[in-house]
Amino acid sequence: MSGLIITALVVLVFIVIYQIAKASELATILRGDEKKVKGQTNRLMAWLMVAFFVLGMIGIYKCHVELMDKMLPESASVQGDNYDSMLFVTLVMTGIVFFVTQILLFYFIFRYQSTENRKAFFYSHNNKLEILWTTVPALALVVLVVIGLKNWFTMTDIAPKDSLVVEIVGKQFNWIIRYPGPDGVFGKRDYRLTNDATNVLGLDWNDPASKDDIIIENGEMHIIDKRNVQLVINSRDVIHDVGLPHFRMKMDAVPGITTTMWFTPKFTTEEMKAKTKNPNFVYEISCDQMCGKGHYSMRGTVIVQTAAEFKEWIGKQPAYYAGQQKAAAPAPAAEGAAPAADTTKAAPATVASTH
């Protein structure tokens, strides 16, 4: 409410200043001092533009200093370093252009302000200038696009043969993770077999490779430090997006279409906790595509471990098929309990006496 009141007051102040300026302009016209006042107004506007430029530069610097500690830590993947380098090159190129053009813009406004002794020169066209400011930006953008495409093709290319393969499936509103079992092969999936209670990914139990697959339903992905990992990405319902901000990776999860990407983690979760001096640090999996009313809550985590830690963890995970079979099995009778009555035999009829 206070913000609305402040905004209304600022608007009212500007309206009052505008009305005062208009009244002053009309009074000047009536006195016949229009040229003199116009010159004073131009000089005032020129100096105000200089002040606006200086304050704007100070504001940019202050924002940069204030937000530095709120930025993501250094990239946690080798491929992410390439994206950070690309961003740096982009910022340098566009930053130079920004500062040069803004300095010239405000300088020209101040230097060539309207005066009684200066008449505006109409300069309609110059072929050399047109070619220059069309060609140079086009070439700069081509360089940036080529760098971006190179990184993109690397990320989406076939992963190295030694890669850990992990499937991640988006579902309103959580992530489901699947690892191949000891056979190293993912079992077949059929969306028609999907059932939230007994088969969250629609695994085909007629495929032997499905019976040792491991499914993690809480969205916690475990990967190995310094080892390439390929993500096989799907969606069960609508379009999601696997966002890995700390690794500088993201990829759409599209229903009916399998997408992939691969990267190489650089730091374990414990190492990143030490680097950020944050004992609660976690690598996040975000959904970077608006996917419904629960989109805000669609969050997973990535645990980067050493090879030994991952081997120990994966060894403790039961096969999804075995877990579902165990859950579906009838509970054993308690020891010493009386045998259940045979309900298949008809109970003796009871005749009510009329006497």
Integer Cα distance of 5 and 38 in angstroms: 35
State mean pLDDT over 168-172. 94
pLDDT in tens, 285-336: 999 999 999 999 999 999 999 999 999 999 999 999 887 777 666 655 555 5
> Do 235 and 152 belong to one domain?
no
Q: Are 275 and 294 in contact (CB under 8 A)?
A: no
> Do 175 and 306 belong to one domain?
yes
> Do 231 and 85 belong to one domain?
no
Question: Does residue 107 fall inside a structural domain?
Answer: yes
Question: Does residue 259 fall inside a structural domain?
Answer: yes
Q: Where are the beta strands (DSSP E) in the chain?
A: 164-171, 174-179, 214-216, 220-224, 229-235, 240-244, 249-253, 259-263, 283-287, 299-305
User: How sure is the predictor about 352, in pLDDT bands with cuts at 50, 70 and 90?
Assistant: very low
Question: Does residue 2 fall inside a structural domain?
Answer: no
> Do 255 and 111 belong to one domain?
no
pLDDT in tens, 254-276: 999 999 999 999 999 999 999 99
pLDDT in tens, 60-112: 899 888 888 778 888 999 999 999 999 999 999 999 999 999 999 889 888 88
Report the CATH number that the domain containing residue 251 is assigned in CATH. Answer: 2.60.40.420
Q: State the angle between helix axes of 2-31 and 34-67 in degrees (0 to 180), rounded to the nearest 10.
A: 160
Q: Which residue shows structure tokens 């020129």? A: 46
Integer Cα distance of 355 and 338 in angstroms: 38
> Do 194 and 312 belong to one domain?
yes
> Do 254 and 144 belong to one domain?
no
Integer Cα distance of 57 and 167 in angstroms: 47
Integer Cα distance of 189 and 210 in angstroms: 8
Q: Are 216 and 176 in contact (CB under 8 A)?
A: yes
Question: Does residue 335 fall inside a structural domain?
Answer: no
Question: Does residue 342 fall inside a structural domain?
Answer: no
> Do 291 and 208 belong to one domain?
yes
Q: Is the pLDDT of residue 343 over 60?
A: no
> Do 143 and 39 belong to one domain?
yes
User: How sure is the predictor about 13, in pLDDT bands with cuts at 50, 70 and 90?
Assistant: confident
> Do 294 and 323 belong to one domain?
yes
Torsion sign across C-alpha atoms 245, 248, 253, 258: negative
What order do you get walking across the sheet with 299-305 strand by strand? 220-224, 299-305, 283-287, 240-244, 249-253
Integer Cα distance of 241 and 349 in angstroms: 66
Q: Are 287 and 240 in contact (CB under 8 A)?
A: yes
Over the range 12-25, which residues count as b (16 or more CB within 10 Å of their CB) and which as e? eeeeeeeeeeeeee
Question: Does residue 46 fall inside a structural domain?
Answer: yes
Q: Say how many residues make up the chain.
A: 355
User: How sure is the predictor about 9, in pLDDT bands with cuts at 50, 70 and 90?
Assistant: confident
Return the amino acid letter for 56: G
> Do 54 and 195 belong to one domain?
no
> Do 220 and 273 belong to one domain?
yes
Enter the pTM of the model: 0.74
> Do 180 and 248 belong to one domain?
yes
236: left (phi over 0), alpha (psi -120 to 50) or beta: alpha
List, in order, residues 6 or more apart from 271 with CB less than 8 Å away: 225
Instruction: Count the domains in the chain.
Output: 2
Question: Does residue 291 fall inside a structural domain?
Answer: yes
Q: Are 102 and 110 in contact (CB under 8 A)?
A: no
User: How sure is the predictor about 48, in pLDDT bands with cuts at 50, 70 and 90?
Assistant: confident
DSSP-assigned beta bridge partners for residue 260: 232
Range of the domain at 59: 33-115+126-156
